[in-house]
Amino acid sequence: MAKEALGRGLGALLGEIEEAYENEMPENKHDVKVIELSKIKPNPFQPRKTFDQENLQQLAQSIKDHGLIQPIIVVKEDKHYIIVAGERRWRASKLAKNKTIKAIVVDIDEEQMREHALIENIQREELNVVELAKAYEELIKVHNLTHEQLAKMIHKSRTHITNTLRLLQLNKKVQNALVDSKITMGHAKVMIGLSEKDQILIMNSIVGQKLSVREVENMVKSLKQTPLKEDTTPQIKQQYDFSQIRELLQNIGLTCNVKNNKLTINFNSSDDLDFLLKALK
């Protein structure tokens, strides 16, 4: 299916998405069904993982006051329906304590559901930056695209695509801090390429000390210029006097060498070793 989708082009898919929304209120009202909310499930391929609760509450109030203007789009699956487009409206309708929702049932397969979910959110700019990066990554994999090709198809710059995808190189905790607005996109870009340990260190410093992007840039520059290394500073070693022990060994017939604070005893036979052990005892 991915090959077929690639053959017809992502641009065609974008057109289909736009057409689907234009037709959400079809001329023939019988095309719109009323479905129980309990029979509807979210799209498992939905890239958007977080929904602003305040915005959902506002939408829920609007639905209470004016009703649902645009039906959602679903696909039939056994005794249930899967959302293709309109998960926010579905969630808001549940908050509004509605039991049913208007929906248009379409006939698409699993691969198209994945693509529609990705494109819908990208086009409507409803994803946070990390979710957006993951959506770009999946589209590139599904359609075997270059950054340049994806940029042209969704009308973004190649630099935007590349910079967004680079956010996936960040530690998960740093990604979450970015999503939660504890750090900015500027902060995040500076940390790309650092070790996970350094990323966490800098993230904690940003949050704790309210560092600006410029201050973080200087911090990263300092880290790169003076990375943590093993201490190679020459140490002044104390020199030990082995003269007495060497004299004692020589007195019992053993020879030894002294170098760099090390004393080496030379044994010519096992008898020499036995003799030393008896002397020590």
Token pair 């926010």: residue: 88
Beta strand pairing call for 255-259 and 262-266? antiparallel
CB atoms near residue 106 (< 10 Å): 16
Write down the catalytic residue from 22, 27, 87, 215.
Answer: 87
Helix axes 172-179, 196-209, angle to 10 degrees: 30
User: 87 catalytic, yes or no?
Assistant: yes
The residues, ordered by sequence, that sit 6+ positions from 213 with a Cβ below 8 Å of its Cβ are 184, 186, 187, 190
Write the DSSP assignment of 166-217 as a string of letters: HGGGS-HHHHHHHHTTSS-HHHHHHHTTS-HHHHHHHHHHHHHHT--HHHHH
Distance CA(79)–CA(213), nearest Å, equals 52
Closest alpha carbon to 68 in 40, 109, 107: 40
Kindly provide the b/e burial profile for residues 174-205, where b requires at least 16 CB atoms within 10 angstroms of the residue's own CB: bbebbeeeebeeebbbbbeebeeebbbebbee
Apex 83 CA angle, 79 and 89, nearest 5: 120
Residues serving a catalytic function are: 87
